[in-house]
Structure 1
Amino acid sequence: MIRVLLADDEGMVRAGIRAILGTDADVEVVAEAANGREAVDLAVAHRPDVVLLDVQMPVLDGLDAADEIHRLVPETGVVILTTFSEDEYIARALGGGASGFLLKAGDPRELLAGVHAVADGAAYLSPRIAQRVIAELHGGHLTRATAARARVDALTARERDVLALVGAGLSNAEIGRRLHLVEGTVKAYMTSVMDRLDVRNRVQAAVLAHEAGLISREADR
């Protein structure tokens, strides 16, 4: 059972999201919060598998709440709920404590897919958000791509394989099955990759994999 904490300052929005989550027998909403501070406190109290956070909330916004939850309850995955008009929040959140980003107006199936992916230890971007991020990365920023390739080239071949699969959205368990490794070994590789690349989370690692062109190489296999 995936235990979820839902945080949004609008009661009707919480009710709608809760209804969508309720269609999945493997998901249980264990608590709800109406502001970011309450979300942090409830995350510490309940230690859910996943926290769904609205970006714009009173007392403490979703991004600051995500950072605190990541620091206080690092085993809990955080998914940010955003809108197309909040690109600046997406950019800021990529460097913070969130592992997933979903559009409020997206397909309900994306919500369930994101919850499952983040609960399983993977990073998850709503497809339309991913398209925006990738377009920005490839919008003439050749120096970033060159720098990313230089950083990635310092990894071992196996570390690059793991990074490419992280960028493709796979969880540790899925990477293990793909590469014929036990999950503990994948976790060790991920720790090494993030340390050597100096990234804070899987989302940053996934973005770097895109910048370096690892995803297209993985797709060609």
Structure 2
Amino acid sequence: MIKIMIVDDQPLVREGLGTLLGLRPGIEVVGMAEDGTDALNKALLLHPDIVLMDIRMPKTNGVEGTKLIKERLPDVKVLILTTFNDSAFVFDALGEGASGYLLKDMPTDTIAQAILTVHHGGVVLPKEFTSQVLPELRMKSHDKPAEFPDELGELSDREREVLMHLGQGLNNKEIADTLFITEGTVKNHVSNVIQKLGLRDRTQAAIFAVRYGITIF
């Protein structure tokens, strides 16, 4: 059973999503919270597997809430719930350790599948939303030019291709289909990229790709 906690400042959203997800086999809603600080306090007591975290809340927002939880409970995974208007906060939340993000108006089936993906160690980066926020993030990066890390030179051409596709939100199967290689090979390349760049996980790799505007040689 996957134990989840829902964090949103709107009671109707919390309760509605909780009711819908509570009907799903294999998912148990163990608690709800109204902001990031409340989420940490309850997570310390309830020990959820996954926290569904709204990103825009009036007290402690989702970025700060993600940071609080990952600092105290690093094994608890956070999945951000967002809207198209929240793109400025999304990559900050990912940088604090969130395992991905979903649009709030996605079907319950999609949210339930995302919970399963994150529970099994995956990352959720919806391509449609990623394509919207990439230009914005790149514009911000151009405002503050950053030199490419030396570690980038250690990547092979294929690893750099894989890194680029991670930044587009593709999963292993989609990358494999695009590059005409096996999923196992993609998995190995992803592991190599993470290790060579000194990153924590594929989410950080995706953020890295976007921040530095990675393109194929």
TM more than 0.5: yes
Q: Does 1:179 align with 2:184?
A: yes
Q: How far apart, CA to CA, are the structure 2 residues paired with 1:82 and 1:58?
A: 14
Gap regions ≥5 residues in structure 1? 172-176, 215-221
Aligned twin of 2:177: none
What amino acid maps onto 1:212 in structure 2?
Answer: I
Aligned twin of 1:28: 28
What amino acid maps onto 1:179 in structure 2?
Answer: G
Aligned residue for 2:68, secondary structure, equals: helix
Q: How far apart, CA to CA, are the structure 1 residues paired with 2:172 and 2:46?
A: 26
Percent identity over the alignment?
32
Contact 2:8 2:57 in 1 (8 A): yes
- What CA deviation, in whole Å up to 9, does each residue of 1:189-213 have, x standing for no partner? 84x7445324354322124356435
Q: How far apart, CA to CA, are the structure 1 residues paired with 2:44 and 2:201?
A: 20
Change (3 A) 1:193 1:70: farther
**Structure 1 vs Structure 2 CA RMSD:** 3.7
Change (3 A) 1:156 1:24: farther
Aligned residue for 2:84, secondary structure, equals: coil
TM-superposed CA distance for 1:109, in Å, is 2.7
Identify the range of structure 1 (42-51 vs 158-167) with the bigger mean alpha-carbon deviation: 158-167
TM-superposed CA distance for 1:158, in Å, is 9.4
Change (3 A) 1:107 1:131: farther
- What CA deviation, in whole Å up to 9, does each residue of 1:88-142 have, x standing for no partner? 1123223222111111122333212221111111111233322223444677x89
Gap regions ≥5 residues in structure 2? 174-181
TM-superposed CA distance for 1:63, in Å, is 0.8
Q: How far apart, CA to CA, are the structure 2 residues paired with 1:55 and 1:138?
A: 21
Q: How far apart, CA to CA, are the structure 1 residues paired with 2:138 and 2:85?
A: 20
Q: Does 1:46 align with 2:46?
A: yes
Aligned residue for 1:31, secondary structure, equals: strand
Contact 1:6 1:31 in 2 (8 A): yes
Q: Does 1:104 align with 2:109?
A: no
Aligned twin of 1:169: 171
Contact 2:160 2:215 in 1 (8 A): no
Calculate the TM-score normalised by the size of structure 2.
0.73
TM-superposed CA distance for 1:2, in Å, is 1.3
Q: How far apart, CA to CA, are the structure 2 residues paired with 1:106 and 1:27?
A: 18
Aligned residue for 1:38, secondary structure, equals: helix
TM-superposed CA distance for 1:71, in Å, is 1.5
Superposed, 1:41-190 pairs within 5 Å as: 41-136=41-136, 147=148, 151-155=151-155, 168-170=170-172, 178-179=183-184, 190=191
Contact 1:77 1:121 in 2 (8 A): no
Q: How far apart, CA to CA, are the structure 1 residues paired with 2:209 and 2:33?
A: 34
